[in-house]
Amino acid sequence: MGKRVAFVSSGLEHLGISALAAYVRQHRHEPVVVYEPRPFSSGSGTDLPALARWLDPSPAETAARVLASDPDLVAFTSYSVTHRWSVEVAREIKAHRAIPIVFGGAHVSAAPERAIREASVDAVVEGEGEGALVDLLECVERERFGRTDVANVTFRGPNGPVRNPVRPLIADLDALPWADKSGFYSAVPELEREYYVISRRGCPFRCSFCEYSTFSTQYPGEKPVRRRSVTDVVAELRAVRAGGRVRKVFFWDPIFTLDLHWVREFADTYAREVGIPFECYTHPQTMSDEMASLLAKAGCIMVRVGVQSVNSDTLASVDRKGDRLRVQRTLESLRTHDVPYSVDHIVGLPGEGPIDQLDALHFYNRHRPRRIVAHWMTYFPGTTALEQGRRDGTLSDADVERVLDGDVGPGYIYGGNAGLANQQQLARLRELSAVFDWLPLLPANVVEWLLERERYRYLPGKALLRQLGVLVLAIRGEPATRERALHIAASLYGATRAALARRLGRSASPHPRVNAGAPGAKAYPHRPSAPPVVVRRLAIAPADHFAK
Ligand code: B12
Ligand code: SF4
C-alpha cells in the first residue's frame, strides 16, 4: 500500500472528493474521508447559527478526527463559503502534528498564490487535481515532500510563492475510475437516496459570474468540454441501480443538454437499461423541440433551466449567451413535451434593479415553472465579474480582498455580496425575492394582484421560507420536488443524527469512516472491466522527476 490521505470535506456531498478518492486508490494509496456535513453552518441552505453552535463540530474536533485516522497527508477542498473553516481546521492539525497539508477546490484554485500565504497550508492545487495529488503522495512516499516543481501545484518558496504551470486536462474521462462515494455514504447513509453524478467536465460558455469565465486564461488552448461516453455513464448507473437504494439520479452537469447526438444516444439507452427518474440542468441556448422530446423519452422528471435574467441587455452585459426569446422558446418546448421545469434566477445582477425583478416575475407568472430557485448575485474569486466589479466601482479594493480571502458575505442563498450601496433598493429587492419563492404556489391571478398592488411587501421574506415553500410544493405531489425535498430532509436528518450522537458521546466510531476496504465499510461500484489497481501517471514532470 502507498500512503494514506485524509480528505476533509464539509457541506454537501462533493463529487470532486469522490473522484479523487477513487483515483488515489487506483494508484494504490489509501483514501480516508473525514466528512463534516456541518448542516447548520456550511452555507448549504440550512444555516441556523443557534443549532450550529451546539451541533456542528468545532475546527478542533474535526482536527482530532483527522489525526485519529493517522494520515500521511491531509487534503482539504475549499469553496469560498467553507474556506475559512478549512483553514482553522488546518491550523489545529498543524498545531498538533507536522504533517503535509494540501488545499484544492474552487476557492483556492482561483488564487493559489494567495492561499499559500496561510502558514498551515503546504501546497495548493490548481484546477483538476488527480495527477497533482498522486504526485504529491509519491513525494511523501519518497520523502521528497517539499520539492517545488510539481505541475498544478503552488508552494511557498524562500522568495515567495512558486506557482507551477498546469498539466494538460484529462482528455478521456472514461479512463478515470467511477466516483468512490463510500466516505460520504457511510457518514450519512441517507445521501444515497439521490445519486449525484456528472457526465462531463467544463462548459463552452463564459458567463462573467461563473468560475468558467476565466477558463481560457487558466487553460489556454484546451478543449473547454470533455464528456464521458453514454456507455460508461449508463454502466455506472446500472451498477448503482443494482444496489436498490437510489430513488432518483441528479445529473449535475452545468448543461446536460449540450450535445444533441449524445442525448439522442443517452435517451434510448438510459430508458432501457437504467430507468431511474432523473433531474438535470439546461441552458436555453441548447434547448430545442427535439431535445425536449428526448428528455421526456429518457424519463427526465425535472429540468432546471438556467435563466438568470429575462433582460436581454443584462444577459449580454454578463457575457451570458442567449436572450429573452430563447428563454421563452425553451420553456415552450419543455411544456409542449410535458417535461416539468424549474428556473434558476439571479437577483442583483450588475445593472439590474427592482424593475427588472418585477418584469421577471410577470414573465415567470406567464410561464408558471414548478419552482423558481432565486440566488443572490455573489462575486466569487476567479471570475471576470469580480474584476469587472472592481473596474466599474461596484466593488471597492477592500471588497475584492475580502472575496479573495473567502468572505463572500452570507452566500448566494442568503443575500450574496453584490455590494448594493442603495439600502432602499436593497430592501425592495429583498421583498421581491420572496415572491420568487411563493410564485409557483399561488394562482397566477393572485400573483398579478400582489405585484400590481405592491401587496408582496407584506409577504414574510425570511430565507427559511424557501425551504418551507419547497415543502409545500412537495406535499402538493410534484414528484421531482417531492424527491428533492425528501432527499434534503433525509440528509439533514442523517447529518443531525450523527452530530447528536457525537455530542452525546454515543458515536459508533470516534474515528472517521474509512472507505470501502476497511472493515464495516460499504463497497462502491467499480467499473467491471477495470482492475482495481492501475498505475497511470498524468504528470508533465520529467521522467526522472523523483530521481533528482
Ligand atoms: C456540481 C456542482 C455542485 C454539486 C457537487 C459539488 C462538487 N464540487 O462536486 C453541489 C450541488 C453539491 C454543489 C454545491 C454548491 N456549490 Co457548486 N458547483 C458544481 C459545479 C456545477 C460543477 C463542479 C464539478 O465539476 N464537480 C465535479 C468534480 C469532478 O470536480 P470538482 O469538484 O471541481 O473537483 C476537481 C478540482 O476542483 C480538484 N479539487 C477539488 N477539491 C480538491 C482538493 C484537493 C486536495 C485537490 C488536490 C484537488 C481538488 O480536483 C477535482 C477533480 O479533478 C460547479 C461549476 C463550476 N463552474 O465549476 C459549481 C461550483 C463549484 N459551486 C459553487 C458554489 C458556490 C456552490 C455552493 C456554495 C452553493 C450553495 N450555497 O448552495 C454549494 C456548496 C455548499 C457546501 N457548503 O457544500 C461555485 C464555487 C465558487 C467558490 N469560489 O466557492 C461553483 C464554481 C459555481 C460558480 N458559481 O462558479 N455544487
Ligand atoms: S452556462 Fe453555467 S456553467 Fe457555463 S459558464 Fe455559464 S454559468 Fe458557468
CATH of the domain at 56: 3.40.50.280
Ligand 1 site residues, Cβ closer than 6 angstroms = 11-16, 19-20, 42-45, 75-77, 79-82, 102, 104-107, 109, 125, 128-130, 132-133, 198, 201, 210-212, 252, 254, 380-381, 411-413
Residue 522, in any domain of the structure: yes
Q: Are strands 153-157 and 226-227 parallel, antiparallel or unpaired?
A: unpaired
Residue 340: the pLDDT is 96
Percent of the chain that is helix, strand, coil (3-state, to 5): 45, 15, 40
pLDDT: which is higher, 434 or 180: 180
Residue type, 256: F
- Mean pLDDT of the region 295-312: 98
Tell me: pLDDT of 55 over 50: yes
215 CB within 6 A, ligand 2:
no
Per-residue pLDDT of 346-400, as tens digits, reads 999 998 999 999 999 999 999 999 999 999 999 999 999 999 999 998 889 999 9
Residue 461: the pLDDT is 64
C-alpha to C-alpha distance for 494 and 55, rounded to whole angstroms = 13
CA of 337 to the centre of ligand 1 (A): 31
C-alpha to C-alpha distance for 183 and 513, rounded to whole angstroms = 6
4 CB within 6 A, ligand 2:
no
Residue 439, in any domain of the structure: no
Per-residue pLDDT of 128-151, as tens digits, reads 999 999 999 999 999 999 899 999
- Nearest CA owner, ligand 1 atom 51: 16
431, 429, 424: which is closest to 461 by C-alpha?
431
Q: Which ligand is nearest to the CA of 47?
A: 1
Residue 137, in any domain of the structure: yes
Residue 120, in any domain of the structure: yes
Per-residue pLDDT of 458-508, as tens digits, reads 877 666 666 777 778 777 767 888 888 889 889 999 999 988 888 887 664
- How far is CA 424 from each of CA 350, 355, 387, 427, 461, rounded to the nearest angstrom? 17, 13, 26, 5, 16
- For a pLDDT cut of 90, what percent of the chain falls above it? 71
Residue 500, in any domain of the structure: yes
Residue 206, in any domain of the structure: no
- Nearest CA owner, ligand 1 atom 49: 104
C-alpha to C-alpha distance for 498 and 189, rounded to whole angstroms = 10
237, 234, 278: which is closest to 256 by C-alpha?
278
C-alpha cell at 445: 391571478
Which of the 8 DSSP states describes residue 459? S
- Nearest CA owner, ligand 2 atom 2: 254
Tell me: pLDDT of 234 over 60: yes
Residue type, 239: A
CA of 506 to the centre of ligand 1 (A): 32
**What is the position in ligand 1's atom list of the atom closest to the CA of 413?**
71
Tell me: pLDDT of 545 over 60: no
Per-residue pLDDT of 397-419, as tens digits, reads 999 999 999 988 766 766 777 76
Query: Average pLDDT over the chain, rounded to whole?
Result: 89
Residue 47, in any domain of the structure: yes
Q: What residues contact 515, with CB distance under 8 A and at least 6 apart?
A: 21, 25, 31, 32, 33, 180, 182, 183, 186, 521, 524
- For a pLDDT cut of 70, what percent of the chain falls above it? 89
26-30, 50-54, 152-156, 180-184: segment of lowest average pLDDT: 50-54
pLDDT level of residue 518 (50, 70, 90 thresholds): very low
Q: What residues contact 57, with CB distance under 8 A and at least 6 apart?
A: 36, 38, 65, 499, 502
Residue 149, in any domain of the structure: yes
Per-residue pLDDT of 245-294, as tens digits, reads 999 999 999 999 999 999 999 999 999 999 999 999 999 999 999 999 99
206 CB within 6 A, ligand 2:
yes
- Mean pLDDT of the region 102-131: 97
- In the chain, the number of structural domains is 1
207 CB within 6 A, ligand 2:
yes
User: Which domain range does residue 73 map to?
Assistant: 4-171+492-534
Residue 156: the pLDDT is 96
Beta bridge partners, 379, equal none
Question: Which segments of 235-293 are extended strands (E)?
Answer: 248-251, 278-282
266, 260, 295, 294: which is closest to 279 by C-alpha?
295
- Mean pLDDT of the region 75-81: 95
